[in-house]
A and B are shown apart, each in its own frame.
Chain A
Amino acid sequence: MELVPKIETVGLNLYYGDFLALKGINMKIPGQNITAIVGPSGCGKSTLLRCFNRMNDLIEHTKVEGKIVIDGLNILEPDTDLISLRKKVGMVFQRPNVFDLSIYNNLKFGLRIHRMLDGKDEIIQSIRGGLEQVGLWQELKDKLGNNARTLMLEQQQRLCIARVLILKPDIILLDEPCSALDPIATLRIEELLQALKQEYTLVIVTHNMQQAARASDYTGFMYLGELVEFGQTNQVFTNPKQELTENYISGHFG
C-alpha cells in the first residue's frame, strides 16, 4: 500500500531568467519522516527546498511551472495564502539566523505576527513548549531576557527550530542546518530531528552524505537540476538504481 504523500511535485520546472534550474521534478515526500535531498553544489537542492514554502518568490525573474501539492492543495496557485503556507511549512536556514533580540522576543516574533498572543501566560506557555521540544528550556528558562546572539551556535540553531515549532507547523524545511556546527553539535541536532519526525514532516538539504545516511528515512539525489533518484535511504545508499547515484555516494565525484 502506497502512503499518501505529504508533499508531491509534478513536473516541476523552475527558471532563473532563462536558466532552467529545476528540470521536471516528480517527487513524493511521505509524511512524518525525514527526507534528505543530496547532491553536489549548484544541483538545485536548495532551490527545490525553497519551492515548498515559496521563498523563491523573493528572487526576481523566477518562473515556476508544474505543481506542488501539499495536503491536496497546489501551492503554486496564484491565490495561495503565503502567510498561512509559511506558517504551516516552516524553514530553518544554514546559518543560525536569530534576531538581534532577546531569546524571549525571538520566540515571540512569530506569535506576534500571527496574532497568536492571548495574554502573558499563554505566551510563556508557548515559549516554554517550543524550548522544551528542542531541549533548551532547562538551560535557558532563567535567561529568556538575554540576547540570543550570546548563545552558542548549536543553541542558536535549536532556538531557530523552536521559533518555527512555536507556530505549530506541519512541515519543517531545513537548509543545511548543521553546516555551521561542529560534529558533536551536528549529532545532537540529528537526534532532535529524529524526535521531531514523530509529529512533523522534515525535509533536509545536506551536502553531507553521512548525515543523509544516518539521519534520513528517504533520500533524493539531485544532479544538474534533475532528480536522479528517490527512494528509501537504505536502498539509495546500498543498492542505487542509477549509476550516477552510485558514483556520487561512493565519492567518485561531487
Chain B
Amino acid sequence: MNAAKLRQQIAFIVLGVVTLFVIAPILLTIFYVTKNGIGAISWEFITQPPRNGMRQGGIFPAIVGTILLVVGTMLFSLPLGVLSAIYLVEYARDNFFTRLVKLSVVNLSGIPSIVYGLFGFTMFVLFLRLGTSILAGSLTLAIMSLPVIITATKEALESVPVSFREISLSLGATKWQTVRHCVLPYAVPGILTGTVLSLGRAAGETAPILFTVAAFYLPRLPRSLFDQVMALPYHLYVISTQVPNMPAELSFATGFVLIALVFLMNLASIILRAHYRKKRLW
C-alpha cells in the first residue's frame, strides 16, 4: 500500500471516530435518562397533578404549561422572525440601518438566557404590567428564539437561486408576489427546521421563565393568559434540588417527558416538511 492510500485510510478512521464521539453523548444521555426514568412513566404520571409535596402523582400541569409556552412563543416569534428575515434578505438595501439590524441579530443570539429572563421580568412583568404570566413568559422566550429563527430564515431565503426571483420579476411580478410565490415555498423547509430548533430550546430553557411565568407548585390548570403555569424544565429543577427525599426516578421521568416532547416537535416538523415538498401551493 502506498503512502497516500495509507494516509487516506488513517484520515477515514480518525474522522469516523471523531464522528462517533459526537453521537455518543447524545445517545448516552437519552439512554441514561430513559433507563432511570422509564420505570416511573405511567398514565397517571402524565395525566395527574403532583401530590404529597410533589413526591407522588404526575406532572400533567407542567406538561400543559410547557406546551402552552411553546405555542405562545411560536405565535410571537415565528411571524416576527420570518417577516424581519424577509425584509432583510429581499427588501433591505445594504446600508447603515440594515447592518445595524444584522449586527443586533447576531448579538441577540449571544446573550445568556438568564439575561433574557431579567429583561423579560423588568420589561413584560413589571413595566408592561403583564405580571408573572403565560403572556410574559411567551414573550420572553420569543425574544430569545428570534435570532435563531431569523438566521435560519435568512439562510433558507438566500439559498433560493436568484434566477427564481429573476423570472418572476421579469414577468412583471411585484416584489411581494415574487417572494410569496417563487421564494417562500422553497424556503419553507429551512424555516421549519430553524423554528423547531429554536422552539425545542425554548421548551427546555429554565432561566427565561424563572421570573416571568414558572410556578413552583400549581396543581390547577391556567384559566387565562395572565395566569402562572408550571413548566417542565423548572419543575425538573425544583424536584431535583429543592425537594428533600425526592425519588430520583421521578426527576429522570420528567426529563424523559421533556425530551420526548421536543422529539415529537421535531417529528412533526419532519412530517410537515415532507408534506410541503409534495404539495406546492401553485
Give the interface of A toward B (CB within 8 A): 53, 55, 58, 60, 82-87, 90-91, 93, 95, 97, 99-101, 105, 108-110, 112-114, 160, 163-164, 167
Given A83-B174, A91-B170, A109-B173, 15 new contacts (CB under 8 A):
A60-B94, A82-B172, A86-B172, A87-B171, A93-B163, A93-B167, A99-B167, A109-B168, A109-B171, A109-B181, A110-B171, A113-B172, A114-B172, A167-B171, A167-B172
Q: Is the CB of B163 within 8 A of A97?
A: yes
Q: Is the CB of A60 within 8 A of B172?
A: no
Distance in angstroms between the alpha carbons of A94 and B169 in the assembled complex: 16
Distance in angstroms between the alpha carbons of A164 and B169 in the assembled complex: 12
Q: Is the CB of A97 within 8 A of B166?
A: yes
Chain B residues whose C-beta falls within 8 Å of the C-beta of A110 in the assembled complex: 171-172
Q: Is the CB of A60 within 8 A of B169?
A: no
Q: Is the CB of A90 within 8 A of B170?
A: yes
Distance in angstroms between the alpha carbons of A110 and B177 in the assembled complex: 11
Distance in angstroms between the alpha carbons of A97 and B167 in the assembled complex: 7
Q: Is the CB of A84 within 8 A of B165?
A: no
Give the interface of B toward A (CB within 8 A): 93-94, 163-174, 177, 181-182, 280, 282
Contact (A86, B171) CB under 8 Å given A60-B93, A60-B94, A101-B280: yes
Most buried by A among B171, B174, B280, B282: B171
Please name 9 pairs of A and B residues whose Cβ atoms are closer than 8 Å in the assembled complex, sorted by A: A83-B172, A83-B174, A99-B182, A101-B280, A101-B282, A109-B181, A110-B171, A112-B282, A114-B172
Q: Is the CB of B170 within 8 A of A113?
A: no
Chain A residues whose C-beta falls within 8 Å of the C-beta of B164 in the assembled complex: 97, 99
Tell me the minimal C-beta distance from B174 to chain A in angstroms.
6
A-B interface pairs (CB < 8 A), number: 61
Closest to B181 in A: A109
Distance in angstroms between the alpha carbons of A91 and B166 in the assembled complex: 10
Chain B residues whose C-beta falls within 8 Å of the C-beta of A114 in the assembled complex: 172
- Of B94, B172, B174, B282, the residue contacting A105 (CB under 8 A) is B282
Q: Is the CB of B280 within 8 A of A86?
A: no
Tell me the minimal C-beta distance from A37 to chain B in angstroms.
17
Closest to B182 in A: A99
Chain A residues whose C-beta falls within 8 Å of the C-beta of B167 in the assembled complex: 93, 97, 99, 160
Q: Is the CB of A113 within 8 A of B171?
A: yes
Distance in angstroms between the alpha carbons of A112 and B172 in the assembled complex: 11
Chain B residues whose C-beta falls within 8 Å of the C-beta of A101 in the assembled complex: 280, 282
Chain B residues whose C-beta falls within 8 Å of the C-beta of A90 in the assembled complex: 170-171
Q: Is the CB of B172 within 8 A of A84?
A: yes
Chain A residues whose C-beta falls within 8 Å of the C-beta of B181 in the assembled complex: 109, 113
Q: Is the CB of B172 within 8 A of A58?
A: no
Distance in angstroms between the alpha carbons of A139 and B102 in the assembled complex: 50
- Of B163, B165, B169, the residue contacting A86 (CB under 8 A) is B169
Chain B residues whose C-beta falls within 8 Å of the C-beta of A109 in the assembled complex: 168, 171, 173, 181
Chain A residues whose C-beta falls within 8 Å of the C-beta of B280 in the assembled complex: 100-101
Q: Is the CB of B170 within 8 A of A53?
A: yes
Q: Is the CB of A86 within 8 A of B174?
A: no
- Of B94, B165, B166, B177, the residue contacting A113 (CB under 8 A) is B177
Distance in angstroms between the alpha carbons of A112 and B168 in the assembled complex: 12
- Of A55, A100, A163, A167, the residue contacting B166 (CB under 8 A) is A55
Chain B residues whose C-beta falls within 8 Å of the C-beta of A163 in the assembled complex: 171
Chain B residues whose C-beta falls within 8 Å of the C-beta of A82 in the assembled complex: 172
Chain B residues whose C-beta falls within 8 Å of the C-beta of A58 in the assembled complex: 165-166, 169
Contact (A55, B173) CB under 8 Å given A97-B163, A101-B282: no
Tell me the minimal C-beta distance from A43 to chain B in angstroms.
21
Contact (A55, B172) CB under 8 Å given A60-B93, A99-B182, A105-B282: no
Chain B residues whose C-beta falls within 8 Å of the C-beta of A85 in the assembled complex: 172
Tell me the minimal C-beta distance from B87 to chain A in angstroms.
15
Distance in angstroms between the alpha carbons of A91 and B172 in the assembled complex: 10
Chain A residues whose C-beta falls within 8 Å of the C-beta of B165 in the assembled complex: 58
